[in-house]
Every structure is written in C-alpha cells, then in structure tokens.
C-alpha cells in the first residue's frame, strides 16, 4: 500500500488552510466543557424530579436540588479543565479516558461533601438526590462524550471542524509505515502533505531540507512530524535546524517499540529528562485503594462464611484421610514465593518439580473435593492469604511453581503476570478460562486475559470481576 492509496498528498503541497486556527477550533474547548456541564446539571435536575415525584406524587424540586446541580456540574468541569481534558485528541479517534473521568467524578463529590461539611450545610442536600446524581451523572457524561467524539471525527474528515494540519517528513517507506500504523486522520489530524527525502542518500543534502522547509512555510501548518529512525541523529539534526525556523509545533515521530506501550511520557527527575516507556501497573495510591478493598471484603467474607468453613472442614475429615488444608508453593508479586491455602480436594499433596494438573473425572479427587471444586469453595481459605498480604481478591491466578517454569519459556510475557499480586479470582476465570491447561493455546488465552486486567485495572473492574465470580455461569465453567 502506498501513500496515494491512503489518500495522502505526496510531496510538499503549498495549499493554505482556511484561516488556520479558525472559530470552530477556538470554540471546541468551551463547547465540550459546556456539554459536560449541561449533562450533569440536567441529570441532577431530572433525578431530583423523579425522586420527588416517587416520594410525594408531585413534580417539584427545592433550591437545594438546584444548588447540587450547579455545584456538581461546575466542579467537574473545573477539574477536567485543570487536567486538560477538553482537547480534541481526547474526543477524536482514541479510547475514552474512563479511568480519568471516574477519578475526577469521585473527586467532585468528595470536594462537594467537604464543602458541605465545612459550611455546615450537609443536612441541606438530600442524600437520595446526591446518590442518584453520583450514579447517573458519569455514565451520561461518557455517553455524551462518545457521541461528541463521533461527530468530531466525521466533522474533521469532511472539513467542517478544522483538524490540525500536519506535515509528515521522512523517507517514503518510513512515512508510509507510520500512516498505515497510526492513521493520523482518525486522530483529529489532517495530513496536508509529505516532505519525502531521497531514500538513496544516507543523509539529505542541505539544499533538499531547505527546499522542503521553504515550501512548507506556505502551507499554514500547525505541526511537523519528523518520521526518521532515532538512530539517524545526523538527519534529525538537519531537519530540526530547518524546521525550527517555522512557527509550528515540531514532533519527533514514534519508534516502532512504542507500539508495545500505552502510557509513554516524558519524565523529569531533578535535571534528568527521560522517555518513560512504562511503569508499575498500579501507583502507590492505587495499591493502597486495592489493599483497603481487599482487607474490607476479605474480613467480611471470613466472618460471613465461618459456619461454612467449619462444615467444609468437618466434611473433609469425615470423607478421607489427610489434612483439611492443602498447602502449595506459588509465586506471588515480583515472583516472591509463598504458600497458598486451599481446602484439600485430592488424595495427593503434590508440591515438587512435577505437579500433575487435575483432569475431568480424575480418580485422585475425593467425593467432597468434587463438590468443593465445582462451586469454587476450595478457594475460600485463600481469604487468609489475602489478609496476610500475599494475595489479592482479584488478580491473575497463581500456578504451581513447576507450571510457572514450564510456561515461562513457552508463552511470551508470561512472567509479567507477577507484576501484580495474584488473586483468588481473575479476568480469565470469569471468562471460563480455568481448569487444565494441556495445550499452549489454552495457557496463551489465559495469559492474554491476565495481561488485559493488568493494563486496564480499576476498582470498578475488580468489583465487576467479584460480582461475575459469584453470579456468572462462566466462572464455574471447566471446574473439575
């Protein structure tokens, strides 16, 4: 596929835009902010009306309902504006930033409650109205943003909304590969032309760079994207020297390794600047939030299931000889070894260099063990592992060390599962990916789901997985 096949102007084309930063682009930020404000204020008013109608049989609202709508919508818009969320790139051609929106939504209501407490007006706001606004506001905002994003995408393609005009500079094969890989026209950019360098030369002549810069000056560009391998420092220096003379934003195009990372940024530590390709999956605050959830729910579950634990222990002792609990070495966070606890469901206690996985109709499984495994009750003692800090309620399921060694050499990025704490349940398990992994394909599917969880973690995702673990039929599939 060539640049012409992608409908990209080949060569530097001296074509002026209709005013560069025209009125539509200038109005984008206030328009998207106003949309958020109207959606939240409207949702708050409507939920208050519906609640009052249900409670009293009449349509009415109070001044407190009006104040709640104004404060919630204004605070959310303010927080988003301070975080720079009202940018075209956050609406066009990219996945909605749900985690950021959720964080700012929670911050809005924490601030609102703090304000009400400080001003001694907490009794003014209806708890039902606050709760209803909190539940309905964010989903409606995300839905509205999705709709706006679709409109902006269409508008930027047909020219109603002026996209940023960008010039792609580099050798044809590099520019072509970049265009096919990233499709900048779907990210709110308009490729006004290309400055193609002679592929037969190791470094371009100064006259060639000067010619491209001179012609680009006539194009009323917003951005110039230099698409050159970073190892070609001589070429990059010449292009930077040339385009620094133009009033444009100058970018150095991504290397292919960037495709492997979703959160690349410039990091500064003191006077040291570096390109941050990745970081630990969870920040310190996220680790703390997840730990609080683990301790709270695990403690409650242990209290709730104490009678069940006692009955299961008695049934195991009466059914077969051996201990109640099965202990096995597993690898946890950062591949630290720990002993996992389970109710014993088999007549063997394998924990060596060779561990044979359970299979369907396995003769080693006891009668009580078959019931426990069918309903996931054998995992309940791992609540103690959660309280002890070796495990989390949700995370990649830990495997026997013998199996870790076996699959680490055969499955790409298998060991990355240990970048978070292992869990009693996980994203793979609620999709039915459990049981025997007698083929690499089965383990590959499980690993892919685990890596998706690591890359997309949120407290809401943890809560969803816990809910599906209990109520989804897939969570009980392949249990034997």
Q: What is the pLDDT of residue 205?
A: 65
- Tokens standing for 477? 């599939």
How many helical (H) and strand (E) elements, i.e. helices and strands, does the chain have?
15, 10
Q: What angle do CA 33, 264, 262 make, to 5 degrees?
A: 80
On whether the CB atoms of residues 328 and 351 are closer than 8 A, the answer is yes
C-alpha–C-alpha distance, residues 240 and 248, integer Å: 11
Neighbours of 311 (CB within 10 A): 11
- Tokens standing for 308? 């069940």
On whether the CB atoms of residues 3 and 136 are closer than 8 A, the answer is no
* 3-class SS of residue 168: strand
C-alpha–C-alpha distance, residues 10 and 193, integer Å: 6
pLDDT digits (tens, 9 = 90+) for 146-198: 888 778 777 766 666 667 889 999 998 999 889 888 888 777 678 888 998 88
Longest dimension (CA), the chain: 90
Q: What is the pLDDT of residue 11?
A: 67
SS (H, E, C) 41-100: HHHHHHHHHHHHHHHHCCCCCCHHHHHHHHHHHHHHHHHHHHCCCCCHHHCCCCCCCHHH
DSSP β-bridge partners for residue 328:
340
Closest CA to 427 of 413, 417, 438: 417
pLDDT digits (tens, 9 = 90+) for 407-461: 988 898 899 999 999 999 999 999 988 877 778 888 999 999 999 999 888 888 8
Q: Where are the domains of the chain?
A: 23-158, 164-276, 284-476
pLDDT digits (tens, 9 = 90+) for 255-266: 888 877 766 778
Predicted TM-score of the model (pTM): 0.61
C-alpha–C-alpha distance, residues 277 and 189, integer Å: 24
C-alpha–C-alpha distance, residues 152 and 223, integer Å: 19
Q: Give me the residues of the chain with pLDDT under 50, please.
A: 16-21, 94
* Mean pLDDT score across all residues of the chain: 84
| Domain 164-276 is found in CATH 3.40.50 | yes
Q: What is the pLDDT of residue 94?
A: 47
C-alpha–C-alpha distance, residues 187 and 5, integer Å: 19
Q: What is the pLDDT of residue 17?
A: 47
Q: What is the pLDDT of residue 274?
A: 86
């Amino acid at each position: 596929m060539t640049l012409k096949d992608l409908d990209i102007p080949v060569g530097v084309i001296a074509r002026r835009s209709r005013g560069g930063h025209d009125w539509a682009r200038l109005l984008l930020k206030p328009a998207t902010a106003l949309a958020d404000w109207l959606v939240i204020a409207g949702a708050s008013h409507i939920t208050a009306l519906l609640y009052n109608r249900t409670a009293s049989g009449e349509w009415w609202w109070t001044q407190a309902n009006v104040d709640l709508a104004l404060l919630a919508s204004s605070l959310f818009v303010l927080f988003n504006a301070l975080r720079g969320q009202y940018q075209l790139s956050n609406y066009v051609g990219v996945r909605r930033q749900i985690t950021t929106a959720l964080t700012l939504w929670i911050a809005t209501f924490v601030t609102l409650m703090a304000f009400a407490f400080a001003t001694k007006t907490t009794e003014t706001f209806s708890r039902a109205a606050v709760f209803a606004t909190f539940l309905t506001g964010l989903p409606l905002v995300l839905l509205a943003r999705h709709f706006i994003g679709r409109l902006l995408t269409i508008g930027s393609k047909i020219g109603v909304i002026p996209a940023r005009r960008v010039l792609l500079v580099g050798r044809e094969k590099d520019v072509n590969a970049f265009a096919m890989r990233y499709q900048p026209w779907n990210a709110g950019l308009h490729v006004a032309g290309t400055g193609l360098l002679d592929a037969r030369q190791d470094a371009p002549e100064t006259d060639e760079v000067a010619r491209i810069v001179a012609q680009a000056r006539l194009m009323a560009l917003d951005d110039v994207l230099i698409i050159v391998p970073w190892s070609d420092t001589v070429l990059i220096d010449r292009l930077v020297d040339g385009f620094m003379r133009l009033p444009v934003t100058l970018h150095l195009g991504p290397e292919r390794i960037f495709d492997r990372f979703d959160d690349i940024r410039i990091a500064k530590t003191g006077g040291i600047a570096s390109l941050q390709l990745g970081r630990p999956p969870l920040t310190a605050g996220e680790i703390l939030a997840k730990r609080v959830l683990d301790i709270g729910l695990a403690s409650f579950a242990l209290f709730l299931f104490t009678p069940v634990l006692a009955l299961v222990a008695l049934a195991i002792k009466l059914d077969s000889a051996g201990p109640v609990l099965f202990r096995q070495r597993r690898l946890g966070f950062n591949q630290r070894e720990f002993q996992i606890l389970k109710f014993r469901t088999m007549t063997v206690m394998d924990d060596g260099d060779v561990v044979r996985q359970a299979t369907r109709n396995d003769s080693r499984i006891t009668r009580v063990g078959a019931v426990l495994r069918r309903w996931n009750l054998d995992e309940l003692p791992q609540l103690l592992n959660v309280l002890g800090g070796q495990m989390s309620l949700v995370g990649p399921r830990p495997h026997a060390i013998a199996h870790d060694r076996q699959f680490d050499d055969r499955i790409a990025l298998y060991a990355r599962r240990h970048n978070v704490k292992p869990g009693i349940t996980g994203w793979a398990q609620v999709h039915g990916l459990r049981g025997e992994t007698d083929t690499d394909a089965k383990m590959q599917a499980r690993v892919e789901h685990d890596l998706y969880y690591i890359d997309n973690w949120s407290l809401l995702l943890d809560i969803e997985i816990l809910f599906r673990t209990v109520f989804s039929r897939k969570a009980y599939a392949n249990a034997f």
